[in-house]
């Protein structure tokens, strides 16, 4: 049986939908007090639902037959600056899960983040040697990097463990994320409402407006990678989860307009002050480690992934993956 935390979130709910097709039982964990997240589910094809704060009491009391853990639950707001929230939900909660999996010798996959790379001065290599040197730009990135650093220092470990350094993910089931939803989600709704998309101006000479670049990865590609890395034959460690290609915001937005058969209309606006010092202008995953394990699947192109998301989900008002 799989234990899945963050099951009502964006990536977690999409993973659950894929996983239950195998017929295997899943225990799902999240903060189900939020009705906006619970609406990600239109099915009850899971074994048991556990409130996030009750998880460890449940594990102590029930001793369930858990075969593996996928830990995706986290506070992901990059504009949140209350360090105590990240310490509790991202760092200390994750430590307890690691310790449980180590003691019970249960394989663990957990969500890290490309936010750990900060402004990219140290590169974007999932090399364990540089983790201590990384300087994230916000408390969210710090919390993820602090856990990665802690993990690499542990002598007692799960029999197989993987840290997923997610780059910019987009796809269905992200509607509840608000400001933290992907640029594709926000741009689509801006187009529907105003006929145009507003992008932040660049404040660095090396990047023209809209030419900031990110490694955007579609949720369907991400799920294939996670499924692949579940195999215990793959070496334990941190892995970049991206396409290995940086795409400009202008290119991404153009693909949305094209998917809607509309002319491109982009307006460049001032960036909010709280983002100016924490904004990543460029990310591109080095995926050589992933490829070295034998992963050779092709990725969706930007145009194809955006068209799939827009036409099959957003245009259909389909919330659930």
Per-residue pLDDT reduced to its tens digit, 172-190: 999 888 888 999 999 999 9
Q: State how far the alpha carbon of 62 is from the alpha carbons of 66, 165, 177, in Å.
A: 11, 32, 32
Alpha-carbon dihedral sign for residues 161, 230, 50, 63: negative
Confidence of residue 42 (pLDDT cuts 50, 70, 90): low
* Whether 140 is catalytic: yes
In Å, what is the CA distance from 20 to each residue of 1, 4, 228?
Answer: 11, 12, 16
**Beta strand spans in the chain (E):** 2-5, 26-30, 48-51, 68-71, 108-113, 161-166, 168-170, 197-200, 213-214, 216-218, 237-241, 247-248, 266-269
Residue where the block lists tokens 């490829």: 291
Cα distances (angstroms) measured from residue 292 to each of 75, 97, 160, 235, 304: 31, 28, 17, 10, 26
Query: How many Cα neighbours within 13 Å face the side chain of 254?
Result: 9
DSSP notation for 187-210: HHHHHHHHSSEEEEPP-STTS-TT
What local confidence, expressed as pLDDT, does residue 45 receive? 66
At residue 320 the predicted structure's pLDDT band, cuts being 50, 70 and 90, is low
Q: Poorest-confidence range of 96-110, 200-214, 239-253?
A: 200-214
Specify the residue for token string 């409402």.
Answer: 193
Q: Give ∠ CA 45-176-17 in degrees, rounded to 5.
A: 25
pLDDT digits (tens, 9 = 90+) for 264-301: 999 999 988 877 777 888 999 999 999 999 999 999 99
Task: Identify the structural domains of the chain with CATH numbers, from first to last.
Answer: 2-168+217-241 (3.40.50.720), 174-215+245-283+298-314 (3.90.25.10)
For residue 312, what is the DSSP state? I
Among the listed residues 177, 196, 245, 303, the single catalytic one is 177
* Predicted pLDDT of residue 43: 57
Q: Tell if the pTM clears 0.85, that is, is over it.
A: yes
Catalytic residue among 93, 110, 117, 140: 140
Helix (H, G, I), strand (E, B) or coil at 292: helix
């Amino acid at each position: 049986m799989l234990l899945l935390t963050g099951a009502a979130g964006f990536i977690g709910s999409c993973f659950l939908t894929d996983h239950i097709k195998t017929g295997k039982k899943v225990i799902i964990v999240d903060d189900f007090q939020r009705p906006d997240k619970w609406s990600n589910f239109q099915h009850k094809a899971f074994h048991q639902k556990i409130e996030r704060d009750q998880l460890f009491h449940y594990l102590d009391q029930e001793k369930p037959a858990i075969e593996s853990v996928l830990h995706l639950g986290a506070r992901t707001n990059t504009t949140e600056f209350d360090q105590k929230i990240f310490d509790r939900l991202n760092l200390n909660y994750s430590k307890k899960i690691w310790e449980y999996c180590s003691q019970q010798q249960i394989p663990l996959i957990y969500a890290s983040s490309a936010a750990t790379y900060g402004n990219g001065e140290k590169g974007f290599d999932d090399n364990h040697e540089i983790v201590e040197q990384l300087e994230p730009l916000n408390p969210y990135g710090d919390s993820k990097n602090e856990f990665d650093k802690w993990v690499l220092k542990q002598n007692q470990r799960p029999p197989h463990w993987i840290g997923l350094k997610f780059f910019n993910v987009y796809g269905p089931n992200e509607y509840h994320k608000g400001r933290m939803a992907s640029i594709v989600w926000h741009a689509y709704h801006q187009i529907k409402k105003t006929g145009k998309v507003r992008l932040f101006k660049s404040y660095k000479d090396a990047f023209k407006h809209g030419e900031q670049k990110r490694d955007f990865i579609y949720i369907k590609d991400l799920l294939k990678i996670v499924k692949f890395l579940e195999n215990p034959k793959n070496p334990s460690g941190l892995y970049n989860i991206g396409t290995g290609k940086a795409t400009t915001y202008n290119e991404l937005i153009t693909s949305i307009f094209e998917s809607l058969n509309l002319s491109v209309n982009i307006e460049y606006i001032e960036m909010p002050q709280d983002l100016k010092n924490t904004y990543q202008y460029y990310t591109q995953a080095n995926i050589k480690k992933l490829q070295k394990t034998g992963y050779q699947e092709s990725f969706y192109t930007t145009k194809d992934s955006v068209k799939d998301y827009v036409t099959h989900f957003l245009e259909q008002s389909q919330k659930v993956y």
